[in-house]
Structure 1
């Protein structure tokens, strides 16, 4: 799934509903307006943004009432703002959907087994992570990708901040990313972030043993209206990531996260673990 925003996804759902009400196929409607079957599929799944002229043609072909058209046009317009700001960072295509949907989310839950989650990374920590992966991050892109990561973190502050619940493996606190100085600042940042009302940080102790996400990370994005915008999952690795929209799979990811939360230390215990890790690094 490579959609660009929640409004675009809602628009696609409405276009699909309106088409099915007519009993026509995507191929039939596409041919009528001079577009391919694949193009209709992408529009209806929120994968690509429909142009104003194409939307007008499509609504006319489907006989969409005038009172409905304004709402569809508004959804299309809402899917555009903010997208261009990320173009200057030269980000990989696999990351763009996450960033866009993240901007529309009201809450995000994430588990990381070995590193600090991106939304909580300091600039120096993020830089060290990117430099360590020259096969996936070209040297000339490191600073741009770091800047993009810091830009994303602005969603955690402001008038209506994103709610972020992160479970971090204890191993991530012990991995010397960038050296002791970088790790000192990073853990101090985690302690400061944990004091914010919209951020919850739990540490998964090594003593917790096996857990549901031993094989990788978990990210689930939640939206204001789960009926029209159901949660989405995201999974990534060294070679990129991908959005997960299948309801059963996203539910499984959310359940796995809940199970990990049970195994993880409480917020108060996690704060003490962070303080202990900080003292150990300073020694």
Structure 2
């Protein structure tokens, strides 16, 4: 059960205001004559709050006029449906895609696969074929299309920058075929030249690193009032992480990985070298 990215963000703001005033969920629920569960759902973005209930809570919390107008506008905007709502996204993924569509920057580390925003269509298809969900041909086509649509934000003028560190094992792992991998690495070389993509390779020789347990994804927003959020993806599903301390720690870990990764030019050279290895195998 999950709402839109705007509903989740609105809920987080309401929870912060309530906590700042030292009020409990029971206090807020009593004030608006709703159940504790209902107020909890608003704060988690599980359900949409009415304008009347939002006004009542903002008065209880003593929110400034500027903050009140900001949150009321956020509530109005939450009715807008993004392009991804026309697809049947997993419930755990929909809020993240909504946040991604509004973010200004993504900080992303991948250990075993190429980052989704940089995948070729063929690579994406092969990855989804062996995913945790068994997809029909129609579902597979739709999931590939969703990923390609998400990549459009990287185009110049999209107001979005991707900072990514890719472990060398992801570049060498043969997904599909050597031909598919050669094309995938060629795509990475092209994307790394974009002003909207900062790509680094974490080489084998870097040794042990903090990303050995899996991927890291943190989103940052142009709106200073919108805190960073992170996303955790596991074999059992995924979820948005909004605890400020947890997000800050993931950001720190990503910075540490950047420090261990090859500089931009050396990363380009490593990409080119591995691409040639895949090309050689494709001719055998």
CA-CA distance at 1:82 after TM superposition:
3.6
Residue 71 of structure 2 is matched in structure 1 by 72
Partner of 1:81: 80
What is the alpha-carbon distance in structure 2 between the residues aligned to residue 17 and residue 239 of structure 1?
A: 29
- For the pair 1:35 / 2:34, whether they are aligned, the reply is yes
Pairs within 5 Å for 1:1-283: 2=2, 4-5=4-5, 7-16=6-15, 25-31=24-30, 33-52=32-51, 54-55=53-54, 70-83=69-82, 85-133=83-131, 135-139=132-136, 140-226=138-224, 228-283=225-280
> How big is the shift at 1:147?
0.9
Pairwise CA distance, 1:281: 1.2
- Encode CA deviations 1:183-216: one digit per residue, 9 max, x unaligned: 1221111111011101011111111111011111
From the superposition, tell whether residues 68 and 246 of structure 1 become closer, same or farther in structure 2 (CA, over 3 Å).
closer
Q: Shift of residue 30 of structure 1?
A: 2.6
Contact 2:216 2:254 (C-alpha < 8 Å) held by counterparts: yes
C-alpha RMSD over aligned residues: 2.7
**Aligned counterparts of 2:104 and 2:121: Cα–Cα separation in 1:** 24
In structure 1, runs of 5+ residues without a counterpart are none
What's the secondary structure of 1:262's corresponding residue?
helix
Separation (CA, whole Å) in 2 of partners of 1:110 and 1:14: 25
Q: Deviations over 1:82-121 (max 9, x none)?
A: 44x3233211111112111111211101110110011111
Distance 1:98 1:23, change over 3 A: closer
Gaps of 5+ in 2: none
- Alpha-carbon distance in 1 for matches of 2:96, 2:240: 7
Secondary structure, aligned partner of 2:4: coil
Deviation at 1:46, TM superposition (A): 3.6
TM score, norm. by length of structure 1:
0.87
Distance, in Å, in 2 between the alignment partners of 1:246 and 1:115 is 26
Number of matched pairs = 279
Paired residues of 1:125 and 1:177 also in contact (CA < 8 A): yes
1:202 aligns to what SS in structure 2? strand
Farther off after superposition, 207-216 or 158-167: 158-167
Write the distance in 2 (CA, Å) between the matches of 1:249 and 1:68. Answer: 25
Distance 1:127 1:58, change over 3 A: same
TM-score (norm 2): 0.86
Give 1:60 deviation, angstroms: 7.5
Q: Secondary structure at the match of 2:181?
A: helix
* 1-structure distance, mates of 2:20, 2:114: 47
